[in-house]
Amino acid sequence: MSKQRFQLKILDERLGDTIPMPSYATEGSAGLDLRACVEQPLTLAPGETDLIPTGMALHIDDPSLAAMILPRSGLGHKHGIVLGNLVGLIDSDYQGQIMVSCWNRGNTTFTIEPGERIAQLVIVPVVQAEFELVNEFDASLRGEGGFGSTGGR
């Protein structure tokens, strides 16, 4: 298990009080559940997208890490509540509020309650690329084949 400490700012005073802090649901969870810091229940009609505050800012600070915001599978599968950007990427130098773009891709209206868990945040390793310009690559087994080039099932 790898654990690391990050600076976090509470931007909504309900967070850590009436709205629980983001936390791992189980010891083995990869994602921290993020909660909607909305003032009122927020209704998302089919097709609608809204940007939802999480009430907190996280400074990852380490360029070899980033955070990704992913949908919760239950909300996404059962209710069609996914992310307007499909996946959110939080840069290590971002110090603003973490926002979640919620998209109702389903065909029924969904209401997000204050404090509801709307998405999850996963800390991931990052390698920043530098480029070495070449004219030819050393041969690989795949070469330039892609998009189904390895044949049927």
Ligand X SMILES: O=c1ccn([C@H]2C[C@H](O)[C@@H](COP(=O)(O)OP(=O)(O)OP(=O)(O)O)O2)c(=O)[nH]1
Is 74 flagged in the annotation as binding?
yes
Structure tokens at 37: 């810091």
Residue 93 beta carbon to ligand X: minimum distance, rounded to whole angstroms: 8
Question: How big is the site for ligand X, counted in residues (CB under 6 A)?
Answer: 10
Structure tokens at 144: 């330039």
The HSE-up count of residue 150 (CA atoms within 13 Å, CB side) is 5
Of residues 88 and 106, the one with the C-beta less far from ligand X: 88
What are the start-end ranges of the H helices in the chain? 73-79
Any bridge partners for residue 90, and if so which?
A: 67
- How far is the C-alpha of 119 from the C-alpha of 32, rounded, in Å? 8
Do residues 84 and 100 touch, judged by C-beta distance below 8 A? no
Write out the binding residues for ligand X, residues 78-97 only, by CB under 6 A: 85, 88-91, 94
Of residues 79 and 85, the one with the C-beta less far from ligand X: 85
What are the start-end ranges of the H helices in 36-135? 73-79
Does the footprint of ligand X cover residue 99 (CB under 6 A)?
A: yes
Is 73 flagged in the annotation as binding?
yes
- How far is the C-alpha of 51 from the C-alpha of 16, rounded, in Å? 21
Does the footprint of ligand X cover residue 69 (CB under 6 A)?
A: yes
Is 115 flagged in the annotation as binding?
no
Please pick, from the candidates 15, 42, 98, 112, the single residue that binds ligand X as defined by CB under 6 A: 98
The secondary structure of residue 73, as a DSSP letter, is H
Of residues 32 and 90, the one with the C-beta less far from ligand X: 90
Residue 48 beta carbon to ligand X: minimum distance, rounded to whole angstroms: 17
Which residues contribute to the annotated binding site?
Answer: 72-74, 85, 89-91
* Residues in touch with ligand X (CB under 6 A): 69, 85, 88-91, 94, 98-99, 101
